[in-house]
């Protein structure tokens, strides 16, 4: 009975999901949570981060980050025009940044050591906003919910047939397999997609898209022989630099059109 109940739950969960297309044309499975729930989760995570970390009170740096964010989000699709984007700068040497559903952007002070001008900072923040507008958070939550539901079914079936220890083993091994074979590869796909979306967004906002290449070169030079925490699930750094370089020629006309339209950010 328990196995049947879990199976029905998993089927209903997966049936509630929807297939959509990302900004780059990639097929996505979403729908595990509503936009309102996503926004609430984003706001909660942002509040918890501000409570846990030291918030930088430097007015100049905060204005700098907000200026770059404002220039980028002005070019977002219409469904984001009503979002009030909130930013925070955290005192942390790790070169890191994030963006969350609901219009939240966080930047560590360490990012200024590698993002050495406004265009390079736009490359960082554009990448992170790219995750939001590509619905990556929703996609990952939906995948995790689906994987969790199916693992519960397998665990209960194993327990019914072979006992509690078998159920525990299936659950543990299944979790490891999902993380290694299912969830993490999706994360690397999302990171590559966020590069594409973010680089285009910065060009549309009037930031030089070629500076995205310089940003990642700076990031790798600063990290030495190890990948910084921010890049732990990202594509191979050399490959991503080549891909960013590959896209620059196609984005330069977008950048030039933005400048002709007087989209010329002056953030610092």
User: Which residues form the catalytic set?
Assistant: 128
Element (H, E) at 99: strand 97-100
State the DSSP string of 245-256: HHHHHHHHHHHH
- Measured CA to CA in angstroms, residue 139 lies from 20, 44, 102, 144 at distances of 10, 19, 16, 9
Distance CA 49, CA 37 (A): 18
As given in the structure block, the two tokens for residue 174 are: 């299944």
Distance CA 107, CA 121 (A): 10
Q: Tokens 């025009």 label which residue?
A: 81
Distance CA 85, CA 129 (A): 11
């Amino acid at each position: 009975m328990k196995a049947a109940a879990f199976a029905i739950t998993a089927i209903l969960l997966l049936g509630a999901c929807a297939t959509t297309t990302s900004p780059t044309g990639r097929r996505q499975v979403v729908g595990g949570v509503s936009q309102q729930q996503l926004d609430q989760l984003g706001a909660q995570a942002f509040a918890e981060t501000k409570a846990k970390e030291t918030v930088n009170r430097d007015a100049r740096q905060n204005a700098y980050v907000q200026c770059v964010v404002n220039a980028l989000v002005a070019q977002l699709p219409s469904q984001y025009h009503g979002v009030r984007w909130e930013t925070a700068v955290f005192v942390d040497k790790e070169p890191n940044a994030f963006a969350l559903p609901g219009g939240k952007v966080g930047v560590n002070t360490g990012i200024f050591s590698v993002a050495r001008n406004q265009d390079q900072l736009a490359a960082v923040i554009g990448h992170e906003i790219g995750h939001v507008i590509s619905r990556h958070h929703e996609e990952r939550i939906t995948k995790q919910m689906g994987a969790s539901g199916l693992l519960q079914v397998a665990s209960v079936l194993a327990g019914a047939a072979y006992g509690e220890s078998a159920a525990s083993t299936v659950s543990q091994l299944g979790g490891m397999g999902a993380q290694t074979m299912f969830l993490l590869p999706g994360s690397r796909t999302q990171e590559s997609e966020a590069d594409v979306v973010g680089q285009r967004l910065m060009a549309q906002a009037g930031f030089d898209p070629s500076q995205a290449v310089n940003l990642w070169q700076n990031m790798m030079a600063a990290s030495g022989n190890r990948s910084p925490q921010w890049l732990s699930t990202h594509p191979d750094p050399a490959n991503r630099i080549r891909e960013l370089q590959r896209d620059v020629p196609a984005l330069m006309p977008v950048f030039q059109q933005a400048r002709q339209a007087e989209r010329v950010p002056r953030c610092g």
